[in-house]
Amino acid sequence: MPTTYTDQFYYIDPANPPATGAALTPVQLAVLDSNNNGLIRAGDSSGFGGNRTYDSIGGSRVTAVWNGDQITVDVHGAPVTITGVTFYLANGQSVFTPGDGQHLDPATFDGSSYVTQDTQMPVGQLGPPCFTPGTLIATPQGDRAVETLQPGDLVLTQDHGPQMLRWIGQRQVIGRGDFAPVRIAAGALGNRRDLLVSPQHRMLVGGWRAQLFFGADEVLVAARHLVNDTTIRVQPRPQVTYIHLLFDRHEVIFAEGAATESFYPGETILAGDAALRSEIVSLFPELDPETEGGWDTARAVPRGGEARVLAC
């Protein structure tokens, strides 16, 4: 049975790049794994005849996958290098998504390098940050399981006190390979019980390492970059349900007592899912691409491999 994901993309082909200084705007597109094998690649399909579907992005069939392409962009005056995957599509477009856990922001193009072998991409390189069912979230009335929360409920935040939950999303995905959830053992990050999150879910980390390496008292770091194979481990499973919580701004909230992030839509909208895009834009008009608006993250977010120095 096909499985649909969403992910962030730039419209760019690193092998045929635009001019230096060209503007790059992130979008989110639907990614279809047609045969649910955990891989996105050219030629994969399911069904027969007129019912056949192919691996696709944004509704267009994938014709080539260049895993390992790299681009350098300018974000707010600072150069950022992103390693990821470029997809060639049947509609003639090329799209690039990060494979190193980075978040795409509006940027200008600086340079690129590219691979020459058409391969594949594991779906584990996709996925927004989110919680799993059973995770206890701090509210003014006490801890509540994340799956019991509803829009309109109040949730405790570190910076702004109780805040109203505006939107909840959830989906069930394959929980193996790089897409497997990360288990954070009780006490590893101040959590009272074991905490299971998606690989991209960012946890609040502070202390001398944050100050030494990033010049900040606290930073948000993806769980995948905190894996130490002792107290923080990747834990594969056949399937996993991920749940994300959206507020009026990016917030630091508390899951099992540990400080962590709420869902961060950033500058992007789920352009590959018209219904979801409409729903979020109706709640947050400033996130419509036509407004050129967006949100700041609640804390600084170290880029890519830089964050791994915080694993301990």
In contact, 135 and 191? CB cutoff 8 Å: no
pLDDT at 308: 62
Domains of the chain with bracketed CATH: 3-125 (no CATH), 136-267+293-310 (2.170.16.10)
Rounded Cα distance between 277 and 289, Å, is 11
Which residue, 219, 228, 130, is CA-closest to 179?
Answer: 130
Beta strands in 118-256 (DSSP E): 121-122, 136-139, 142-145, 154-157, 161-164, 167-175, 182-184, 195-197, 202-206, 218-222, 232-234, 237-246, 252-255
pLDDT at 41: 93
Q: Which helix (H) or strand (E) segment is 80 a member of?
A: strand 78-89
Rounded Cα distance between 312 and 310, Å, is 6
Which residue, 226, 215, 34, 229, is CA-closest to 123?
Answer: 34
Q: Tell me: pLDDT of 112 over 60.
A: yes
Percent of the chain with pLDDT over 70: 81
Q: Tell me: pLDDT of 77 over 50.
A: yes
Which residue, 55, 53, 76, 52, is CA-closest to 64?
Answer: 55
Instruction: Record the tokens describing residue 22, joined without a space.
Output: 């060209």
pLDDT for 210-251, tens place per residue?
Answer: 777 777 889 998 898 899 889 999 988 777 888 889 999 999
In contact, 176 and 234? CB cutoff 8 Å: no
pLDDT at 127: 53
Rounded Cα distance between 87 and 72, Å, is 18
Rounded Cα distance between 98 and 109, Å, is 15
Q: Higher pLDDT residue, 291 or 123?
A: 123
Rounded Cα distance between 151 and 134, Å, is 18
90: helix, strand or coil? coil
H-only helix segments in the chain: 208-214, 274-283
pLDDT band at 209 (very low <50, low <70, confident <90, very high): confident
Q: Tell me: pLDDT of 150 over 80.
A: yes
Instruction: Kindly report whether the global pTM for this prediction surpasses the value 0.85.
Output: no
- Return the bridge partners of 75, or none: 78
Instruction: Record the tokens describing residue 181, joined without a space.
Output: 């959830």
pLDDT at 164: 97
Q: What is the dihedral of CA 242, 269, 286, 251, to 10 degrees?
A: 20
In contact, 306 and 223? CB cutoff 8 Å: no
Which residue, 92, 94, 73, is CA-closest to 83?
Answer: 73
Which residue, 216, 197, 84, 94, is CA-closest to 137?
Answer: 197
Rounded Cα distance between 283 and 266, Å, is 14
pLDDT band at 286 (very low <50, low <70, confident <90, very high): low
